[in-house]
Structure 1
Amino acid sequence: MTQSDLHPRGVFSAALTPLNADLSPDHATFLAHCRHLLGEGCDGIAMLGTTGEANSFSLKERQALLEAVVAGGIDPARLLPGTGVAAFTETVDLTRHALSVGVTTVVMLPPFYYKGVSDDGVVAAYSEVVERIADPRLRIVLYHIPQVSAVPISHGVIAQLRQRYPTTFTGIKDSSGDLANMVTMVERFPGFAVLAGADPLLLPLLKAGGAGCITATSNLVARDLAFIAKHFADPAQAEAVEAAQARVVATRNRVSRFAQMASLKALMARASQSDGWMRMRPPLLPLSAEELAAL
């Protein structure tokens, strides 16, 4: 994704966040991880999302990590930081900060504390953010993860927001696992970037006209996902694509046996020979010794 192509397309890693011994974000290791993911073929880094434990960090910690990544030479056009929090005023602050360091596309949860809110309430929250920021550069990828947020992004919400702000709301990350919902959005909203939140769904979504993925297992299998995205429509590469897909599915299944983020971090620790990757912020905890051995 470049600044001239403001509809995200391709493979974006929902990057894990390594932690120091005091459980603060480890900037140097995270920067190295971002470089590694881009080197493996990711089109960009969706940092500070669910997989990155973003909601366990303060606004200052989130801002400092983003600043460190940009200062370390990662092109802001390849970053999709998460900026949606429960208070829309803080969402405004995080989003303005992202814009200030050159990021134009953010991934934004709806306000998620109050449950059972109406579509009009969700639209009102997003509208407040856009109106208060009032920056034509801003591009927002909606974040639909109802199993965690309990505040779904309905098709009605998408339709209203696209009508009000046709250049601002450019896509959605759908982490529901519901491929039919993703395909319906591709068909209903032409030009809207529908991104799968589950690695195994990248291939079928691309075949249905989807834009790509923002996924967790990409921390381990970015190269395979990038290969799938590049060659999914090439009959000459069909066998290799299916082999890559099989590896992606196997890895996703492996990290889903126990707590997913803890499993991903455990495998990152093993791959990098760095136990620092094992650390997590409470209430999330690392795998137990028994789970680690089984993994």
Structure 2
Amino acid sequence: MSKFAVSGVFSAAATPLNADLSVDHARFANHCRRLLDAGCHSVALLGTTGEANSFSVAERKEILDRVIAAGIDPDALMPGTGVAAIPETVDLTRHALSAGVRKVVMLPPFYYKGVSDDGLFAAYARTLDAIADDRLRVVLYHIPQVSGIPLSVDLVSRLVTAYPGIVVGVKESRGDFANMQALIKACPNLAVFPGADPLMLPLLKEGGAGCITATSNLIADSLRTVFDGYADPSAVAQVEAAQARIDAWRTLSNSYAQIPTIKAMIGIENGETGWERLRPPLMPLSPSEIADLAPRIAALP
């Protein structure tokens, strides 16, 4: 039994689009099934890799509703609900709860930069007090290289103390291993998740809770092997082989801009056209870049 309220391998799922750049709901549901079948404990949809901030509130609600209607267990979903406006974050989170989804990843309000910890605490407090639902489990989202808003260890500690059992985790996507260690030390029962696949194994050994990562769209089975076997002396060889595969796939996914590369790789690996589409301002890889990836994928372990 894990000491964490939320733990495991979570895929930061990519969102497939139709030719008109509307969401391909049927393909997305199939992708979620594929991720769960491959070993993910849950699908962290509508995050950075999922292009969440390119969708309206109505579209985000429909994505969640449609994937549940397609048969995906709400307990196997962890959507991103944090946006710049607090009322919309409250609305998206309440909607998730109404659909039976208890776990969410929550960005801070991210438009105004240079705000204080007191301001961020007030924003999260206003959000959580408005929702006022003990079923809710919140994973805070620290991705300052994109959001421009860092979540300090002191701020996270304040939120965990003020909202016990509600604020239960943090996704650390800056890739700062020392910061992850500091979070674990400050909040021993807080589930700390790296956003970079190769960091899951070393962080598990430090008391981490799993991962929420982009390359899990492609190698969830290897991540699950590491998660299940990292502390088992009899599984050392299997874990080392899985980790080598994780490192290789992650390295390839960083060959070009990551989100379009992940989407192109999903399409190549599964033999599905159309995965390369993104909503502007993000742009797809060029045909030559996609052609470059295909043989390199084939050569991966």
Smaller-chain TM-score bracket: over 0.9
1:189-268 superposed matches below 5 A: 189-268=187-266
| TM value normalised by structure 2 | 0.95
2:4/2:189 contact within 8 Å kept: no
C-alpha distance in 2 between matches for 1:89 and 1:47: 20
C-alpha distance in 2 between matches for 1:239 and 1:168: 38
C-alpha distance in 1 between matches for 2:109 and 2:11: 23
2:3/2:189 contact within 8 Å kept: no
State, as a whole percentage, how many aligned pairs show the same letter.
Answer: 59
* Residue 71 (structure 1) aligns with: 69
Residue deviations 1:34-80 (CA, integer Å, cap 9, x gap):
00100001000000000000000000110001001111121111111
2:4/2:191 contact within 8 Å kept: no
**SS of match in other structure, 1:106:** strand
| TM value normalised by structure 1 | 0.97
**SS of match in other structure, 2:248:** helix
Tell me how far 1:165 sits from its aligned partner: 1.0
* Residue 20 (structure 1) aligns with: 18
Q: State which of 68, 82, 103 in structure 2 corresponds to 1:105.
A: 103
Q: State which of 134, 146, 167 in structure 2 corresponds to 1:169.
A: 167
* Residue 49 (structure 1) aligns with: 47
RMSD: 1.4
Tell me how far 1:6 sits from its aligned partner: 7.1
Q: Which amino acid aligns with 1:230?
A: D
Tell me how far 1:272 sits from its aligned partner: 2.2
1:6/1:105 contact within 8 Å kept: no
Tell me how far 1:148 sits from its aligned partner: 0.4
C-alpha distance in 2 between matches for 1:237 and 1:6: 23
C-alpha distance in 2 between matches for 1:258 and 1:276: 18
Select between 285-294 and 138-147 the one with higher mean Cα deviation.
285-294
Moved over 4 A (4+): none
> Can you give the 5+ residue segments of structure 2 that lack an aligned partner in the other structure?
294-301
Q: 1:266 to 1:73 in 2, by over 3 A?
A: same
C-alpha distance in 2 between matches for 1:108 and 1:63: 15
Residues 1:126 and 2:162 are matched in the alignment: no
2:4/2:190 contact within 8 Å kept: no
Residue deviations 1:214-253 (CA, integer Å, cap 9, x gap):
0000000000000000000111111111111011011101
